[in-house]
C-alpha cells in the first residue's frame, strides 16, 4: 500500500450541523500525526473542477460551534460519470492528495465507494446527515441538533395549537426515513408520528382524531415525515380535512431550518470522535469504511453496509408515542 502523506477532506450532499466540528477534528488529528491536509471545496465538485486549498491547523479555528460547512457542499452530477471521476482523480493526484475523508450521507458515501474501487484510493467516510439513515451507527452527525431544532419549533406550535384548539400537521425532513419524525414526536409529546416505514399509521391517526381528539384533548400535533409518495403533511392534512371537516387543521413545514444552527454538545462530541477515528482508520490501513459509533464504541462500517439503510425503526418507540399520547 502506498504511503499516505497528504489527506484531502470534503463535505458533500445536504449540510448537517457538526460538519465543521468534524472538519476540525480530521484536520487537527491529521496534522498531529504528521500528515498534510487539503480542503476540497463544494464536495466532489471541488475535485472535478479543481478547487483545492491547503489546510493548516488555523484553517479550522473557531468553527466547532458553527452550523453549515466551511468547505461548502454540493450535489455533483459530473462525479456520477466516469469522465467526471477521471478529472477528479487527476486533480487529486496533481494536488498530491493520497487519501480522502468524505463527510456526507448515503449519496456521498455511495460516490466514495465507486471512486475508491475505480482508482484504488484509500477513502474513509464520516456519517454527516440530519436524516440518521445510515447503517452501522447509532447516530449520524447533525441528527441530534436537527432533533432539537424540531423540538423547539414544535414546542412553539403547541402554544398556538392549544390556544386555538387546532390540529397541526408538522412536516419534518428525513429523506425516506422516519427517525427525525419518530424521535421528535416522543420529545415533543406529539399525538402521532407518520413515518414512511409504517404506512398503516394513517388509519390509526383517523381513529385517534375521531375518538380521542374532542373527548380528551382540545388540540393535537401530528409529526409527519416528508414523503413525496403521500404528499407529506399537506397530502395527509387534505385527506383528514375531507373526512373531518369539523377540525380546524393547519400544516407547518419546517423545511431547511432543520439543517441549520449551532451543533449541540452531542453532535460536537460525536463529530470530534469520528473525525479523529477517521485518521486512526487511515493509519491502520482501513479503506472503504465509514466510521460509526454503536453502543458507545467506534466501529468501522463497510460503505456497502452503511448505505443500505437497513437499521430499521424501533417499534417500541412507535408504541411509546401511542401510549404516551392517550
Ligand atoms: O439529506 C438531508 C436532507 O435535508 C433530507 O432530509 C431532505 O430530503 C433533503 O436533504 C433536501 O435536500 P435539498 O437541500 O437538496 O432540498
> Which residue has its alpha carbon closest to ligand 1 atom 5?
175
Q: Residue 325: what pLDDT? A: 85
- Of the listed ranges 107-111, 157-161, 311-315, 316-320, the one predicted with least confidence: 311-315
Cell of 241: 380535512
- Give the pLDDT mean for 95-116: 97
Mean pLDDT rounded to a whole number for the chain:
94
pLDDT at 252 over 80: yes
Q: Is 144 considered catalytic here?
A: no
Q: Residue 156: what pLDDT? A: 98
Residues 6+ apart with CB under 8 A from 125: 101, 102, 103, 104, 108, 109, 112, 289, 290, 291, 303, 306
Q: Residue 292: what pLDDT? A: 98
Q: What is the pLDDT of residues 263-280, one digit of tens each?
A: 999 999 999 999 999 999
Q: Which atom of ligand 1 is nearest to the CA of 75?
A: 15
Q: What is the pLDDT of residues 193-249, one digit of tens each?
A: 999 998 766 666 777 776 666 566 788 999 999 999 889 999 989 888 888 788 889
pLDDT at 53 over 70: yes
Ligand 1 centroid–CA 137 distance in Å is 20
Q: Residue 251: what pLDDT? A: 98
Q: Are 103 and 11 in contact (CB under 8 A)?
A: yes
> Which residue has its alpha carbon closest to ligand 1 atom 15?
14
Phi and psi, residue 199, nearest 5°: -60, -30
- Give the pLDDT mean for 123-133: 98
Active-site residue among 15, 98, 106, 131?
131
- Determine the Cα–Cα distance for residues 106 and 140; give it in Å rounded to an integer: 11
- Determine the Cα–Cα distance for residues 272 and 29; give it in Å rounded to an integer: 10
pLDDT at 309 over 80: no
Give residues (CB < 6 A) around ligand 1. Answer: 14, 105, 129-131, 173-175, 226, 259
Q: Which atom of ligand 1 is nearest to the CA of 16?
A: 2
Pocket test for ligand 1, best of 128, 134, 146, 173 (most atoms within 8 A of CB): 173
Q: What crossing angle do the helices spanning 19-32 and 265-283 adopt, rounded to 10°?
A: 40
Ligand 1 centroid–CA 85 distance in Å is 24
Reported as a pLDDT band with limits 50, 70 and 90, residue 313 is confident
Q: What is the pLDDT of residues 25-37, one digit of tens each?
A: 999 999 999 999 9
pLDDT at 288 over 80: yes
Residues 6+ apart with CB under 8 A from 306: 106, 109, 125, 127, 134, 135, 136, 137, 290, 292
Ligand 1 centroid–CA 257 distance in Å is 11
The one-character DSSP state at 292 is E
Q: Residue 217: what pLDDT? A: 74
Ligand 1 centroid–CA 36 distance in Å is 32
Q: Which atom of ligand 1 is nearest to the CA of 259?
A: 4
> Which residue has its alpha carbon closest to ligand 1 atom 14?
14
Helix residue ranges per DSSP H, 165-256: 179-188, 201-207, 214-216, 232-243
E-strand ranges in 195-310 read 220-225, 249-253, 289-294, 297-302
Ligand 1 centroid–CA 24 distance in Å is 24
Q: Residue 139: what pLDDT? A: 97
- Give the pLDDT mean for 61-78: 97
Q: Which atom of ligand 1 is nearest to the CA of 258?
A: 4
Q: Residue 1: what pLDDT? A: 62
Reported as a pLDDT band with limits 50, 70 and 90, residue 175 is very high
Amino acid at each position: 500500500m502506498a504511503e499516505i502523506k497528504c489527506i484531502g477532506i470534503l463535505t458533500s450532499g445536504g449540510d448537517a450541523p457538526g460538519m465543521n466540528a468534524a472538519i476540525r477534528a480530521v484536520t487537527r488529528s491529521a496534522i498531529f500525526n504528521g500528515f498534510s491536509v487539503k480542503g476540497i471545496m463544494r464536495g466532489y465538485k471541488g475535485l472535478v473542477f479543481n478547487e483545492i486549498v491547503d489546510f493548516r491547523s488555523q484553517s479550522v479555528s473557531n468553527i466547532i460551534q458553527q452550523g453549515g460547512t466551511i468547505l461548502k457542499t454540493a450535489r455533483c452530477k459530473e462525479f456520477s460519470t466516469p469522465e467526471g471521476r477521471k478529472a477528479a482523480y487527476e486533480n487529486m493526484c496533481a494536488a498530491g492528495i493520497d487519501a480522502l475523508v468524505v463527510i456526507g450521507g448515503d449519496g456521498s458515501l455511495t460516490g466514495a465507494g465507486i471512486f475508491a474501487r475505480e482508482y484504488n484510493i484509500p477513502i474513509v467516510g464520516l456519517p454527516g446527515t440530519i436524516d440518521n439513515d445510515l447503517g452501522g451507527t447509532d447516530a449520524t452527525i447533525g441528527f441530534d441538533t436537527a432533533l432539537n431544532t424540531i423540538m423547539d419549533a414544535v414546542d412553539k406550535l403547541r402554544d398556538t395549537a392549544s390556544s386555538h384548539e387546532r390540529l397541526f400537521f408538522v412536516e419534518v425532513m428525513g429523506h425516506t426515513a422516519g427517525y427525525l419524525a419518530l424521535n421528535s414526536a416522543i420529545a415533543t409529546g406529539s399525538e402521532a408520528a407518520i413515518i414512511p416505514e409504517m404506512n398503516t399509521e394513517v388509519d390509526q391517526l383517523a381513529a385517534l382524531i375521531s375518538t380521542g381528539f374532542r373527548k380528551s384533548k382540545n388540540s393535537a400535533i401530528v409529526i409527519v415525515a416528508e414523503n413525496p409518495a403521500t404528499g407529506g403533511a399537506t397530502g395527509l392534512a387534505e385527506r383528514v380535512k375531507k373526512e373531518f371537516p369539523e377540525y380546524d387543521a393547519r400544516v407547518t413545514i419546517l423545511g431547511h431550518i432543520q439543517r441549520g444552527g449551532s451543533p449541540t454538545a452531542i453532535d460536537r462530541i460525536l463529530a470530534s470522535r469520528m473525525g479523529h477515528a477517521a485518521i486512526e482508520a487511515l493509519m491502520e490501513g482501513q479503506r472503504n469504511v465509514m466510521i460509526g459509533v454503536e453502543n458507545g464504541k467506534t466501529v468501522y462500517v463497510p460503505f456497502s453496509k452503511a448505505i443500505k439503510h437497513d437499521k430499521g425503526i424501533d417499534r417500541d418507540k412507535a408504541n411509546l408515542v401511542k401510549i404516551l399520547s392517550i
